[in-house]
Amino acid sequence: METPDAYRGGITVRRALELPGLRSGLPEVVAGAERLDRPVRWVHAGEVPNIASLLKGGELLLTTGLGLGTRPAEQRAFVRRLTERGIAALVVELGHRFTRLPSAIVDTARADGLPLVQLHREVPFVTVTEEIHTEIVNGHYALLRRADEVHRRCTEVLLGGGGVPRVLSILAEFAGNPVFLETADGELLYAAGPGGEQTAAEPLQVWEGLRGRPGARLAPPAGTVLVDVPGGGQGAPRARLVLPAVDAPPHPVHRMAAERAAGLLAVVLMQARQEEELAARGRGDFLTDLAEGRIAPGDAPAQARLLGFRPAGTGPLLPVVMRLSPAGGTWASLARTVLEELSAVGVPVLLGVRPVEGRVPLLVGLRSAADRVAAALRTGVERAGLDRAGAGPPVVVVGRPGDWDTVPATLRHTAEAATAAQGLTGRAWYDARRLDIELLLWRLRDDPDLAAFVDRALGPLRDHDATARPPLLPTLETYLSHTGRKAETARELHLNRQTLYNRLARISELLATDLDDPESILTLNLALRARRHLASR
């Protein structure tokens, strides 16, 4: 069985006393015998009174006692300063300054828990230093070799077709503790235990115990090793390895192994994301080619089956398109999330992405309402972080159900309607057939006659809002969206009835029109819709 030193690297005070250099001095431990397992980071020899200021902690200090002082108060202060500095041990060679260590030094070391050793024979300090430093270097080299061996095993597993769970199992076996891989947001991705009888609980039970309560953030115990898996973009981690101190405290070699494994996992996760995104883009290309007539309807079912779309029976197909402003984000995660949401309720779906166009086309086996498809798409946007990447709210447009012969034209119309509907946020989804006016105005957005129409219809109101408050265009938009129902308009704008009446009267005056006239209402509705398309050019 390997000792803890095999995992720490370096040596302990106890091991240093067993080496030939110090052993030849007939060492006698006079204080701190219970703390001889302290690790020795380095060795230092010195005889100056202020030597504590030269140390960083973890050193084994060799001295003949010339700097310890002659008065008990000086000697006590000398030992306390060393304790505060956190040295590993104090070794005093008798003969030059002391024939026996003064009680002030021994009692203070005992009180402070500082290992204190006196050497009854003279030893060459340079020999002691070389021996201990060699042991320390060899120990660290042994740690590197052990970590490299774990890295080699993980690499072989990945090259042999094993995935993330197998890598985590190797780490868990090596560390003797469960190992977890979580997202940057703290959600569990994978878990692995060391196996056998080394752990008292299953990894998932350990994870829940560390969280404290469902939905809470992970609260790892002291000593837990946390290692970021790089590759999340803009310097952020893609994920995080967690090696909690459950059955035994992790040692430096476990951190080394985890850091090497994190590099491998970064490549694996990046490759998985790229493969998922490439597959999603391939499905997006297929649906785009189908919509634009580059794939014959008769060939489409077979190609769709190759892409994993196998709706049961011969029921109608539902074209759906979600539109986002082109923005950065994890499109593969979006596709995966939507597929998970719809697959969970048994809805067959062929989903693709077109990141450059900010478009997500789908074909859905019509066994679920459009509400569920729209909800799955919005959930996917949130979980993929696309709503935080400057994309704005998604617009979901649902086309007319049909068969493979009608899908191409319907899918093309749905995609165009989704583009025309960009910026609309009032509904969870829109019927493409009710967006034909939006689509017509969008197609005319570059026509100067459309801009002239908007200027004639809304120009006076636009000029008023540029210099006066409150602005009146929002009031008109809300009034028209409620088809002239004043009570609902006042409620949405948080206005009392009289204030609303005054604003409507002012709008009617500025536009020289009757807001109760159907023709005037139609003109203003079209002008407001056209204004949105002109602003989006």
How do residues 259-270 score in pLDDT, each as one tens digit? 888 888 888 877
Residue that the structure tokens 């006079």 belong to: 30
Segments making up each domain of the chain, as ranges? 5-136, 143-270, 275-431, 448-535
d(C-alpha 486, C-alpha 470), whole Å = 18
Class of domain 5-136: alpha beta
Looking at residue 87, its pLDDT comes to: 94
Q: Which residue has the higher pLDDT, 477 or 157?
A: 477
Instruction: Say which amino acid occupies 367.
Output: R
9 pLDDT tier (thresholds 50, 70, 90) = low
Top-confidence residue, 393 or 414: 414
- 397: its two tokens: 């447009």
DSSP state letter for 309 = -
Short-list 203, 145, 195, CA closest to 170: 195
Beta strand pairing call for 359-365 and 11-12: unpaired
Q: Do domains 5-136 and 143-270 have the same CATH topology?
A: no
Task: For residue 20, give the nearest of 142, 139, 141, 130 by alpha carbon.
Answer: 130
Cβ count near 365 (within 10 Å): 20
Strands annotated E in 122-213: 179-183, 188-192
Q: Which amino acid is at 196?
A: G
Helices (H), 11-121: 13-18, 20-23, 72-85, 103-112
Would you say residue 362 has pLDDT above 50? yes
Pseudo-torsion of CA 51, 53, 57, 63, nearest 10°?
A: 0
Angstrom CA distances, 297 to 302, 400, 409, 417, stand at: 10, 17, 10, 22
Omega before residue 470 within 30° of 0, cis = yes
Whole-angstrom distance, CA of residue 291 vs CA of residue 399:
12
Phi, psi for residue 196 in degrees, rounded to 5: 65, -145
Mean pLDDT, the chain, rounded, equals 84
| Of residues 468, 466, 467, 459, the one with CA closest to residue 528 | 459
At residue 5 the predicted structure's pLDDT band, cuts being 50, 70 and 90, is very low
Q: What is the DSSP letter of 387?
A: G
- Mean predicted confidence (pLDDT) in 262-285: 79
Average pLDDT over residues 370-379: 80
What is the number of residues in the chain? 537
> How many beta carbons lie within 10 A of that of residue 509, not counting itself?
10
Residue 50, φ and ψ in degrees, nearest 5: -95, 30
Of the candidate ranges 4-8, 87-91, 124-128, the one whose mean pLDDT is the lowest? 4-8
CATH topology of domain 143-270: Beta-Lactamase (3.30.450)
CA angle centred on 485, ends 479 and 487, rounded to 5°: 100
Q: What Å distances lie between residue 292 and 183, 239, 282, 322, 410, CA to CA?
A: 39, 40, 15, 17, 10
The yes-or-no verdict on residue 230 having pLDDT over 80 is yes
As assigned by CATH, the class of the 448-535 domain is: mainly alpha
Average the pLDDT over 352-373 and give the result: 80
- For the ranges 237-246, 362-371, 407-416, 471-480, which has the lowest average pLDDT? 362-371
SS3 381: helix
How confident is the model over 411-448, as pLDDT tens digits?
Answer: 999 999 998 888 787 788 889 989 999 999 989 989 99
State the burial class of residue 527 (Cβ atoms within 10 Å of its Cβ: 0-12, 13-18, 19+): buried
Note the pLDDT of residue 201.
Answer: 46
The contacts of residue 440 (CB under 8 Å, 6+ apart) are none
When the candidates are 2.40.128, 2.60.40, 3.30.70, 1.10.20, the CATH number that belongs to 275-431 is: 3.30.70
Q: From residue 422, give the alpha-carbon distance in Å to each of 306, 391, 483.
A: 32, 11, 22
Q: Sheet holding 27-31: strands in order across?
A: 27-31, 116-119, 89-93, 59-63, 42-45
From the list 204, 1, 43, the residue with the least C-alpha distance to 129 is 43
Residue 210 has pLDDT above 80, yes or no: no
Tokens of 324: 């986002």
More confident residue, 11 or 211: 11
Cα distance between residue 365 and residue 372, in whole Å: 12
H/E element, 116: strand 116-119
